[in-house]
Amino acid sequence: MSISIKILLLVATTIYQAIAIYWEDRQPPPGKLIDIGGYRLHLYVLGEAKPTIVLEHSLGGIEGYFLIEELAKLGRVCIYDRAGYGWSDHSPYSRTSRQIVQELDLLLTKAGIEPPYILVGNSFGSYNVRLYAHLFPEKVGGIILTDGLHETGMSQMSLQLQALKLFFISGFLISIPGSMLGIIRLLRVCKVFELLKPELRNFSQNCLNWVKRSFCRPKHWITMSREMINLDKSARQVSIAQDFAQIPLVSIKANSFFKPSFWSIFIPLKSANHLRDKMHIQLGNLSTDFLQVEANKSGHFVWLDQPDVIVDAVKTVLAKISSSL
């Protein structure tokens, strides 16, 4: 392919990206945009009854939209886009767990969402819900960690896993110009997301559009990079959150960090799984009312592979809270 044709293709995808963003921005978000001090966060609330289920997404994820309809059958559910993701504005502040937790509490307060909360933290979100429960224990009725992280294990990553982390960061950084030029959107149109993760086909088109909309925007990848770069700082911040007394805590453990496949042979899967095992042992010491649940058919992305396990974990916590009243 000649250079001139490549340039024309890049120009075409860039123009398509600009038009698509303009059109998408004219459509109302599913929830509300709430100002928390000069920038707005998107909050989507569905269902009724208390306690309220609050979902904290994984790093770079807005997967709560895949879960909200099923969780809303159990009670009121709050899905929010962290600053920089989805419909939320950029935050001028650092993307660390402490800052994220402060923004979340301010959002819930301004929205009039009264506690107690059942906090569901997926992956990196497990840091944030733990720190939230430590800072605001009177507001938390239960905690669910989905293949959660533990800062002690993360600080002991092997050189192979540290290299993998740098590889992910470089991928996020490369995706910033890729999204600006419309290349990510082109991958969306070609359904590459579904090709890489066939489980996406199990969800409604509305949910898929809401999630993929975010991945097509540069701010999404900028925020992912900022969160990943600050991951060690977040780990140090959450290290104070070690004792939740008798707060019900369910920890979901995936079968493997990545599902074995043709491309997983290129990553240190054995080392990653060994680290995960150590972290799940450490998570088991956080509460005297602790339950570990196995997601035997799932990789790290339990919310895609076995979302029913997360729904069942919420039911378990709700039952524990109900029996204690």
CATH number for 292: 3.40.50.1820
- According to the per-residue pLDDT averaged within each range, which of 59-63, 83-87, 253-257 is highest? 83-87
pLDDT tens digits, one per residue of 238-287: 999 999 988 999 999 998 887 766 565 667 778 888 888 899 999 999 99
CA distance 62 to 65: 7
pLDDT tens digits, one per residue of 172-181: 999 999 898 8
- Model confidence at 101: pLDDT above 90: yes
Task: Take residue 70 and report the two structure tokens written for it.
Answer: 């099923």
DSSP β-bridge partners for residue 56? 121
- Higher pLDDT, residue 271 or 320: 320
- Model confidence at 21: pLDDT above 80: no
pLDDT tens digits, one per residue of 104-143: 999 999 999 999 999 999 999 999 999 999 999 999 999 9
- Model confidence at 22: pLDDT above 70: no
Contact of 248 with 323, CB cutoff 8 Å: no
Domain with 107, as residue range(s), is: 3-324
pLDDT tens digits, one per residue of 139-174: 999 999 999 999 988 888 888 888 888 888 899 999
CA distance 181 to 64: 27
The total of structural domains in the chain comes to 1
CA distance 211 to 186: 15
